[in-house]
Structure 1
Amino acid sequence: MASMTPSKEDLIAIVRRYYESSNDFLSTAETGPETKRRQALWTQMIENMGPWKAFRAELRRVLPDFNIGETGSTDDGGLRCMVYPLKDLEPPASNWAVVGCVSILAPVYFVYGVQYDYIESHLRNHEASFEQPPPDMSWPAQVVARTIEKMFGFSAVSREIAETPVPLFAGLIEPPETTLFHTLFTNAPSSIP
């Protein structure tokens, strides 16, 4: 069962510990304390990938008719797992990938989609979507959410909380565009392998 979701205020306090509130870091070679703390969490995560690998293995078992991918960046606040429709010789039935994000900063997760065009056997024109998935991807989205809750005990962040602005710098995103989503999960939601 998922743990109680931290409040919006709790999440803002958490991300403030891991992201800079000014862009002074752009003009210095010194790594700020916030970035050092985030990098330390990434080091711990990389040294103990067992739970993440078990999660991905469970998704492969439960969703055998889908491709499962992953991505993560030490600039981000979490790992991401993508669920794509299988690509046969024909274009896939859906142009929507499910993305499950697990934060390394707080016991929370978020599931969203990335829409894309399938052109000459390649995924192009990626665009993140926080809308409900199309009918053919609704079930995989539910499976990703349930599996995160089961494997990690994390709770979902609502879209409203995810879209809360924070006065922090996350990658190339800066205030007032930066949101809790960008800091808890990824500053590049449309970027998927």
Structure 2
Amino acid sequence: MEGVIVVDHPLVQHKLTLMRDKNRSTKGFRQLLNEIGRLLCYEVTRDLPLEMVEIETPLTKMQAPRVAGKKLVLAPILRAGEGFLEGMLDLVPSARVAHIGLYRDPETLKAVEYYFKAPPDVAERLVIVLDPMLATANSAVAAIERLKARDVKDIRFVCLLAAPEGIKHLREAHPDVTIWTAAIDSHLNDHGYIVPGLGDAGDRIYGTK
């Protein structure tokens, strides 16, 4: 599917299966999301530009590759997106963090913004938007619109699960934004939840209902 990358690494798929289990504990779910976040971060950053720099090993001087340009920005959509954050920061600890606060109106399913905070030079950086579930995509579309309003040009979206409806909506609204996901599920139910899915990711991360 154009603009969508399914990360089919065996460890990602195994951990996703464990997370789908309704009997998985809050602690276990949170830990698995942290681990998958690290693996997805590895995939979404595999084409970062490199530059050659001179270093000195214990034996000699040499030219060696280093990531070029400004540090990337991780932008979790609150609250569930923060479940990805720790694992990704383990891999790229120098990354900046933007927070995008959105909640889904239970009647309209539309995204309502309540908080936004990003580095002042966010427009000059690669921004990776994080949200475990791409369901209706209303939150993802709104978050990316907010970043584009700050003149961000290089945006990628990472999720754990995606529904075909959400992919279609996001691709139509932002065809320049590539989606990374661990799986594309069947469909959305009448309440806007992904089926078969794994339930409400935020509730399962934080033990709420």
Structure 2 length as normaliser, TM-score? 0.30
Answer with 1 or 2: which has the greater Rg: 2
